[in-house]
Amino acid sequence: MPPLFHRILIANRGEVAVRVARACDALGITPVFALSEADRAAPYTRDREVVVLGPARAAQSYLDVERVVQAAVQARCSALHPGWGFLSENPLLATLCAQHGVTFIGPPPHVTTLMGSKTRAKAAMRAAGMQLIPGSDGVLTSVEHAKAVAADVGFPVLFKAENGGGGRGMRIARSAGEVETAYGEAQAEARAAFGGDRVFLEKLVEAGRHVEIQILADRYGHAVHLGERDCTVQRNHQKLIEESPSPAISNDVRAATCAAAARAAAAVGYVGAGTMELLLDGDVLRFMEMNCRLQVEHTVSEERTGKDLVTAQIEIAAGRPLAWTQDTIPLTGHVIECRINAEDPANGFAPAPGTITTWRPPVGDGIRVDTHVEAGYVVPPFYDSLLAKIIVTGRDRDDAIARMLAALAAFEVTGVPTTIPMHAQILASDAFRTGAYDTRAIPGWP
């Protein structure tokens, strides 16, 4: 069995760094935090080895690929874990790690590059047997091309940036008369946000559900899935609540699509943890894109299966084969996760940096809280506003909802506004309880 690493650089911050460090501790590996100056004195860095990357701005610290790799070398780390967000899907980071003798804990660069191109990823998934959303066969080459494909697919259609994400570079055309404007605006936003104006087109599925499948694969061609998560409750394409299993799909669709996702991951040579993003169109789950990393909501899959995904990532990166076969991965109970952010939902979800004066997370059977926060923590204005994730496990969906409502009610936070009241309102709504919602609106809110 190949040995594990002695020291791992964690090129991330907040709850991400804390979560990865916890896995390192359990494996007897020394974690080293690579942090910005803004996070240098954060409570979670206490008694940890730290390398300062640079100033507070992410572009000068967490997003500076060369500084991150240099930090790993400087700290004598033989491996680097990028976490989720920041550089986690940047193939250049993986390439530079290899050049400096540092193992990148994630998929190889050629796979990340393939999946980073949405049109090439769709072609690869089609070849592997996944269902796709109808649309253009590759990048659009002109307005005339866009008009022809839109007419063939049928309105409404959605223009999307080839290398986009986070809802940027996306525009809707509901009729032929809107195609030219939507296409041009999508190109302009893609150019500003991602440095290129390559755009493709998909049929707009307006009453869909957002479902994702967690997969794990080793370098020996073995791949498994850990079930699906329903992430339909979103705002501006940012997830708010995740749950598993999805209340919107049948057992037959679930089994067939999850198995296909694992086969597709193996077919493209995927290595490590990743997520297939799909859209439920009627009773068909259609592939949208693949995230070549763990996601914030990986904890939902961990609680349903009892498997530690970060530990598995590290072991796979060290060259060990998958520790599990598909038939040894249980899928039990119902799990819900709520993201607690320092935001003011009543004020357009405005970020709310400041000092946390009271911090008392809920505790109890079936409750997990992943966080980096304690009383006195100063929420910086430079980064994502996530404070904590509450994950609850129930016997069934009704039990999980009840447990989450109790956990939210018990969570005491003062000093900054949070999304806790909003989550409680959503979970208590008839729309959420009955599952009568889709990606078009937040159930029960405002």
Q: ∠320-273-209 over CA atoms, to 5°? A: 155
Separation CA 134–CA 281 (nearest Å):
11
Separation CA 190–CA 204 (nearest Å):
19
By three-state DSSP, how is residue 237 classified?
coil
Nearest partner of 45 among 386, 418, 374, 387, judged by Cα: 374
Cis status of the peptide bond prior to 353, with omega within 30 of 0: no
Q: Which residues lie closer than 8 Å to 419 by C-beta, 6 or more apart?
A: 240, 338, 339, 340, 341, 343, 345, 349
- Provide the residue type at 374 as one letter: E
Query: Which is catalytic among the residues 286, 293, 304, 403?
Result: 293
Separation CA 276–CA 295 (nearest Å):
11
Spatial contact of 87 and 61, defined as CB atoms under 8 Å apart: no
Backbone φ, ψ for residue 183 (5° rounding) = -65, -45
Report how far apart, in Å, the C-alpha atoms of 235 and of each of 241, 321, 348, 388 are: 10, 38, 10, 18
Separation CA 148–CA 48 (nearest Å):
58
If one counts every other C-beta atom within 10 angstroms of the C-beta of residue 236, the result is 8
Separation CA 249–CA 230 (nearest Å):
10
By three-state DSSP, how is residue 220 classified?
coil
Separation CA 302–CA 374 (nearest Å):
24
Spatial contact of 133 and 163, defined as CB atoms under 8 Å apart: no
Separation CA 111–CA 91 (nearest Å):
8
Q: Using N-to-C axis directions, what is the helix angle for 251-267 and 118-127, rounded to 10°?
A: 110
Residue 271's region, left for phi above 0, alpha for psi from -120 to 50, else beta, is beta
Backbone φ, ψ for residue 120 (5° rounding) = -70, -35
Nearest partner of 384 among 349, 347, 336, judged by Cα: 349
Cis status of the peptide bond prior to 351, with omega within 30 of 0: no
Is 293 an active-site residue? yes
Spatial contact of 159 and 201, defined as CB atoms under 8 Å apart: yes
Catalytic residues: 293
